[in-house]
Amino acid sequence: MINPKFLTPQQIVNELDKYIIGQHEAKRNVAIALRNRWRRMHVASDIQGEIVPNNILMIGATGVGKTEIARRLAKIADAPFVKVEASKFTEVGYVGRDVESMVRDLVEQSVNLVKSRKKEEVKEKAALIVEEIILDALIPPMKVKPGFVPAADNGEASGSDVELNEKTRNLFREKIKSGEMDARKIEIDVKQSGGGNVGMIGAGMMDEVSMMNLQDMISGMMPKKAKKRKVTVAEARKLLLEEEAAKLIDMDEVKEEAIRKAEDAGIIFIDEIDKIASGSGKKGGGPDVSREGVQRDLLPIVEGSTVNTKHGIIKTDHVLFIAAGAFHISKPSDLIPELQGRFPIRVELDNLTKEDFIRILKEPKGALTKQYTALFESEGVAITFDDEAIDEVAQLAFTINAEIENIGARRLQTVMSKLLNEFLYDVPDKIVENSSIRITKEMVQAKLNGFIKNKDLSEYIL
């Protein structure tokens, strides 16, 4: 991973290009937004707080890369990322999720990110502790008081016994390190929470944060029980490493850092924002009871407000919000003016062409052809795709999108699954290890061309 401190907008776009085909304008805008965060942290302190992020509104059909751009951007920046669907929220006063929950989810993601990094930092130290615990289970240590020499026949350990025990322990320590003891069974104590979720009778009027804090407090008061388990050394290492690493990190420090990270680097992706625009109910939609209400609830969060979470108070002033929607029925101007003003950068994403589909199948790091190649390789079977076959798959997916419903690049998954499912079923029973499969244009036509004639096939509607 490239350090975001040194990532220029062009480098960010280059990283996004490895996973997403096309949509250069959208990539440019998110790259600038990400770099501006680093710039803000390095400007004079008296104006730093005044610089707010330029939130982005992406407009484009489903499957053109809106979510993937935001998700990959968060990975590049090593930033906490949350995707929410605006249509899942309801106005305050109605049953459903409130908009503040997305900020609480962001903080939770941030805590997990920081905790994982801190655990990685203490991994070596934790591994040494775990090694000693496993060694104690295999060869318990012997101890005698300094200068004490017991009688020969009373069964107590002598100095020579302790020395022999220590030599044996050192020998086994080396065997544990080399992995020779991985299959040996030992008995260890594994701590588990004493409580579990505590139900609250009559807690309906309590808000979500109060409930979480109360449950955490009660579960914290309950003692953690140690359960004896008989496992292999290899399993014990995994179980104990997590436990010991958690003991070595300071959770208060983790929470403080996580709050700062969420405030300064957090990204919230609000999908389906067009579904809460007033125009989205004009064609047979349900009552417009809370669409505008949800927008007005979103507004203070996007503008910048203070939200109480179980880990502490977070300010959303510098969280980057990326909203997205197809806007087939409604249009961006149907959003309330105040919310429109909070998404000053608007990007229209292009519909994908057949040529884009060909590139999507071949070029990205996670291209579908590469995924299927890896799946077959796991069974010892080699699969190759002719260029003409890929061209035919792309043409077929593009035609189905044009004639039935445009679901963008997701259509490729349907077509590839239909093409290769028979082979996947036959491996390894009929297609054995060390076999090879070659996908040709004629094979694609034979397996798939009959399906496009019937436009009512339900399997095409995802």
* pLDDT tens string 80-128: 999 999 888 866 555 556 889 999 999 999 999 999 999 999 999 998 9
Mean pLDDT of the 15-21 span: 92
Residue 407 included in any domain: yes
User: Which of 45 and 211 is assigned the larger pLDDT?
Assistant: 45
C-alpha 164/C-alpha 154 separation (Å) is 18
Residue 13 included in any domain: yes
Instruction: State which of 317, 348, 379 marks the end of a domain.
Output: 348
State the helix-helix crossing angle for 66-77 and 9-17, rounded to 10 degrees: 120
Task: Read off the pLDDT band of 176 (50, 70, 90).
Answer: confident
Residue 93, domain CATH: 3.40.50.300
Contacts with 379 (C-beta within 8 Å, 6 or more apart), sequence order:
427, 428, 433
C-alpha 175/C-alpha 185 separation (Å) is 14
Both 426 and 312 in a single domain? no
Mean confidence (pLDDT) of the chain: 83
The neighbouring-strand residues paired with 237 are none
The pair of structure tokens assigned to 108 is 């939770």
Both 219 and 301 in a single domain? no
The neighbouring-strand residues paired with 191 are 226
97: DSSP letter: B
C-alpha 405/C-alpha 63 separation (Å) is 11
454: DSSP letter: -
pLDDT for residue 165 = 80
pLDDT for residue 144 = 59
Sign of CA dihedral 351, 354, 359, 361: positive
Both 241 and 128 in a single domain? yes
pLDDT for residue 389 = 94
The 10s digit of each residue's pLDDT in 306-349 is 999 999 999 999 999 999 998 988 889 989 999 999 999 999 99
Mean pLDDT of the 54-64 span: 91
Both 261 and 239 in a single domain? no
Both 227 and 285 in a single domain? no
Strand, helix or coil for residue 428: coil
φ and ψ at residue 26, rounded to 5 degrees = -65, -40
Give the other-Cβ count within 10 Å of 36's Cβ. 16
**Does 69 have pLDDT greater than 70?**
yes
**Does 356 have pLDDT greater than 90?**
yes
pLDDT for residue 5 = 55
Residue 456 included in any domain: no
Residue 140 exposed, middle or buried by CB count within 10 Å (0-12, 13-18, 19+): exposed
3-7, 55-59, 267-271, 390-394: least confidently modelled range? 3-7
Residue 457 included in any domain: no
Mean pLDDT of the 32-60 span: 88
Both 196 and 282 in a single domain? no
Task: Calculate the CA dihedral of residues 434, 435, 441, 445 and round it to 10 degrees.
Answer: -130
Q: Which stretch of DSSP H or E encloses residue 224?
A: none
One-letter amino acid at 347 equals V
Q: Which stretch of DSSP H or E encloses residue 416?
A: helix 410-426
Contact 73, 320 (CB under 8 A): no
Residue 178 exposed, middle or buried by CB count within 10 Å (0-12, 13-18, 19+): exposed
Give the other-Cβ count within 10 Å of 342's Cβ. 19
Both 238 and 138 in a single domain? yes
Contacts with 441 (C-beta within 8 Å, 6 or more apart), sequence order:
386, 388, 389, 391, 392
The 10s digit of each residue's pLDDT in 374-419 is 999 999 999 999 999 999 999 999 988 888 888 888 899 989 999 9
Q: Give per-residue burial for 408-438: e unless 16+ CB within 10 Å, then b.
A: bbebbebbbebbbeebeeebeeebeeebebe
Mean pLDDT of the 209-223 span: 57
Domain containing residue 164: 123-149+156-248
Contact 44, 356 (CB under 8 A): no
Residue 316: CA count within 13 A, CB half-sphere:
27
Task: Read off the pLDDT band of 213 (50, 70, 90).
Answer: low
CA dist 373 to 12, 149, 362, Å? 28, 69, 12
Task: Read off the pLDDT band of 6 (50, 70, 90).
Answer: low
Number of domains in the chain: 3
Instruction: State which of 221, 248, 275 marks the end of a domain.
Output: 248
Instruction: State which of 222, 248, 274 marks the end of a domain.
Output: 248
The 10s digit of each residue's pLDDT in 263-307 is 999 999 999 999 888 764 444 444 455 678 889 989 999 999 999
**Does 438 have pLDDT greater than 90?**
yes
pLDDT for residue 460 = 47
Both 208 and 295 in a single domain? no
C-alpha 185/C-alpha 182 separation (Å) is 8
φ and ψ at residue 56, rounded to 5 degrees = -120, 135
C-alpha 401/C-alpha 406 separation (Å) is 4
C-alpha 368/C-alpha 106 separation (Å) is 30
C-alpha 434/C-alpha 379 separation (Å) is 9
The 10s digit of each residue's pLDDT in 147-157 is 555 544 444 55
Indicate the pairing of strand 312-315 with strand 306-309.
Answer: antiparallel
Indicate the pairing of strand 312-315 with strand 225-232.
Answer: unpaired
